[in-house]
Structure 1
Amino acid sequence: MHIQPVRFERSPQLHPMMTEEPYGIGTRVVVQGKRGPEVATVRGEAEPMPSTGRFGMILSVATTSDLSRWEELGREAEDLKWLLRARARARGLPVKIVAAEYTLDASLLTVSYSAEERIELSALIQDVRAHTRARINFAAVGPREQAMMIGALGACGRENCSSNHLQEFAPVSIRMARDQQLPLNPEKLSGPCGRLLCCLQFEHTQYLELLQDIPRKNAKVCVDSSGACGKVVKLHPLQGTVDIYTDAGLMTEIPASDLRPMKGEGKPEGGKDSRA
C-alpha cells in the first residue's frame, strides 16, 4: 500500500490518499474521501504508507463516463448555486453562496457560504430540497477560504496564493509589514479576501535576520567615517543601509556597518519590538 497526494478542483491543498498502485502525476482519479466519491488529480509521487494516520482511498482511474458525469453534476451544482443566491436575495438574507458541489454518486450536495453573522438557513435548505434528492450540507467558510474557492488576481498580477499553492493559512500580522518597511496602507496590504496578504509571511524570517544588523528607527547614531551624528528615520534592510537626519539638517543614506551609537544611546541594533 502507498500514499499519493491528490488535488481537488477548488483548492490547491494536497490530500494524501491510499493506493495499491502508483499513478502518474496528472492522472484524473476517483477517490473516496470524507464526503464520498469525488474526482481528483494526482499531484505527487507515491510514497510508502506511514505507520499512523487516517487517509482516503484512490479507487480507480476516472473513466470517460466518470468525467462526463462529474462535469454534468458540476453544471447542476452551479445552477443550484445561482438559484440559492437569488432566493437569498429575495428573502433578504445577509449571506453569500460561494459554491455548491456534488459528490460523484450525487448523494451529497455541499453548499459553501459566508456570512458575517449567524443566520437561519432552514428556508434555503427547503428551497434547494425541491430540486435535488441529495443530502444537503451547508458549510460556512471564512474570507480566505472564499477567495481560495472563487479565485482572483493578486496585486502582483498573478493568481492569488490561496488558490494557487498555499497548503495552509498561516497567521499574518501587521508587524510583518512594519518589519519589511512597507507603507501601512490597508488597500495595498490587503488581498482579494480583504485580509492581510498571505505573502507577507514568505520573506518575514529573512527580514528579521537582516534587521539584526541595522539600527532601530529613531535611534541616535554617529557615522564613523565622517563623525556626523543624527537620528535614524528610515531603514533599508535589503540594502543594509539606513537614512539618517543629521544634526546639521541633512538627510543621507549610510551603510549600517559605518554607524555607531551616539554616546549614551547604547548599541545601535534594536530589538524585535523596536521596529516601527
Structure 2
Amino acid sequence: MFVLPVRFERSPRLHPMLSEAPHAVGAKVVVQGKRGPEVATVRGEAGSPLASERYGSVLRAATPEDLQRWEDLHRTGEDLKWLLRARARERNLPVKLVAVEFTLDESLVTVSYSADERIELTSLIGELRSHTRARVNFAAIGPREQAQMLGTLGACGRENCSSTHLQDFAPVSIRMARDQQLPLNPEKLSGPCGRLLCCLQFEHTQYLDLLKNLPRKNAKVCHDGSGACGKVTKLHPLTGTVDVVTDQGMMLGVPAGELRRAPEGDPKAGPERAPKPPRSRDADA
C-alpha cells in the first residue's frame, strides 16, 4: 500500500490517501473522502503508511467519464448556487452562499455558507429538492474558509495564502504586528477576509530573534560615539538600528551595538530600567 497526498479543488490542504498503486504527481484520481467519492489531484510522491494514522482511500484513477461527470456536477452546483442566492434575497435571509458541491455519485450536496448570526435555512431545501434528489448538508464556514474557497488577491498582488499553500489556519495576533514594528492600521493589517493577515506569522520568530539584540522602545540609552543620551523612539530589527531622540531634541539613527544604557546616577536617565529583550506573547486574534 502507498500513501498519496491529494488536493481537492477548493482547498490547498493536502489529504493523505491510501492507494494500492502509485499515481503520478498531477494525476486525477477518485477518492473516498468524508463526504463520499470525489475527484482530487495527486500533489506529491507516494510514501509509506503509518500505523497510527487514519487515511481515506484512492478508489481508482479518474476516467474520462469521471472527469466529464465531475465537470457537469460542478456546473450544476454553480447554477444552484446562484439560484439559492436569488431565493435568499427574495426571503431577506442575511446569508452568503459560497459554494454548492456534489459528490461524484450525486448522493450528497454540500451547501457552504457564511452568516454573521445563527440562521435557519430549511426554506431553501425545497428549492434544492426540485433540482436534485441528493441529500442536503448545510455547512457554516468562517471568513478565512470563505476566502480560501473563493480565492482572492492579497495586498502583495498575489493570490491569498489560504487558497494557495496554507495547510492550517494558525493563530495570528496583533502582537506579531507590534513585534515587526508595523503601523497598527486595521486596513493594512487585515486580509480580504477581514481578519489579521496570515502572513504576519511567517517571519515572527525571526523578528523575535532580531529584537533580542535591540533595546526596548522608550528605554534611556547613551551613544558611545557622540556621548549623547536620550530615549529610544523606534526600532529597526532588519537593519539592527534604532532611532534615538537625544535630551537636546536631536534625532539619531544609530546601530544598536553602539548604544549602552544610560548611567543610573544620571538625573537625565529618569526611572527607566535597563533595556531587556521583548517577551513573546502570542494570543489568538
TM class by shorter chain equals: over 0.9
Specify whether residues 32 and 273 from structure 1 end up closer, same or farther in structure 2 by C-alpha distance, changes over 3 A only: closer
SS in 2 for 1:47: coil
User: Matched residues in 2 for 1:204 and 1:21: separation?
Assistant: 41
Structure 2 counterparts to residues 176-215 of structure 1, below 5 A: 176-215=176-215
Aligned residue among 263, 268, 273 for 2:275:
268
**How far apart in 2 are the matches of 1:12 and 1:217?**
40
Does the Cα contact within 8 Å between 1:260 and 1:267 map onto a contact in 2? no
Q: What stretches of structure 1 move > 6 A for 4+ residues in a row?
A: none
TM-score (norm 2): 0.94
Residue 31 of structure 1 aligns with which residue?
31
DSSP 3-state at the match of 1:206: helix
In the TM superposition, residue 193 of structure 1 has moved relative to its aligned partner by 0.3
Asked if 1 retains the 8 angstrom alpha-carbon contact of 2:230 and 2:244, the reply is yes
- Check the 8 A contact 2:5/2:44 in 1, yes or no: yes
CA contact (8 A) 2:219 2:273 kept: no
What whole-Å deviation, never above 9, does each CA across 1:49-89 have from its counterpart, x for those lacking one?
10122211111111111100000000001111111111111
Are residue 62 (structure 1) and residue 69 (structure 2) matched? Answer: no
Give 1:273 deviation, angstroms.
Answer: 6.6
Distance 1:164 1:261 in 2: 46
Alignment of 1:206-225 (within 5 A): 206-225=206-225
* Native 8 Å contact 2:208 2:280 kept in 1: no
Distance 1:134 1:32 in 2: 17
Aligned to 2:172: 172
Q: How many residues align?
A: 274
Contact 1:213 1:269 in 2 (8 A): no
Q: Is contact 2:3-2:47 (8 Å) kept?
A: yes
Q: Report the Cα offset of residue 21 of structure 1.
A: 1.0
Per the TM alignment, residue 248 of structure 1 is displaced from its structure 2 partner at its CA by: 1.3
CA contact (8 A) 1:260 1:268 kept: no
Q: What TM-score, normalized by structure 1, do the two folds share?
A: 0.97
CA shift at 1:244, angstroms?
Answer: 0.4
- Alignment-mate amino acid for residue 87 of structure 1: R
Counterpart of 1:260 in structure 2: which amino acid?
R
- CA 1:227/1:273 → structure 2, altered by over 3 Å: closer, same or farther? farther
Question: In structure 1, what is the Cα distance between the partners aligned to 2:159 and 2:280?
Answer: 33
Equivalent residue, structure 2, for 1:142: 142
Match of 2:267 in 1: none
Unaligned runs of 5+ in 1: none
Aligned-pair identity in percent equals: 70
Match of 1:10 in 2: 10
Residue 170 of structure 2 is aligned to residue 163 of structure 1: no
1:266 shift after superposition:
4.3
Amino acid aligned to 2:176:
M
Distance 1:122 1:271 in 2: 52
- Any residues of structure 2 matched to 1:105-120 within 5 Å, and which? 105-120=105-120
SS for the counterpart of 1:48 is coil
Q: CA RMSD in A?
A: 1.1
1:145 alignment partner AA? E
Task: Specify whether residues 179 and 31 from structure 1 end up closer, same or farther in structure 2 by C-alpha distance, changes over 3 A only.
Answer: same
Give, in angstroms, the shift of residue 127 of structure 1: 1.8
The answer (yes or no) to whether the contact 1:220–1:230 under 8 Å persists in 2 is: yes
Which residue in 2 is equivalent to 1:241? 241
SS in 2 for 1:144: helix
Indicate the SS of the match to 1:84: helix
| Cα displacement (A) at 1:224 | 1.3
Name the CA distance, whole Å, in 1 between partners of 2:249 and 2:143.
Answer: 47
Kindly state the Cα deviation for residue 38 of structure 1 after the two structures are TM-superposed.
0.4
Amino acid at match of 2:128: V
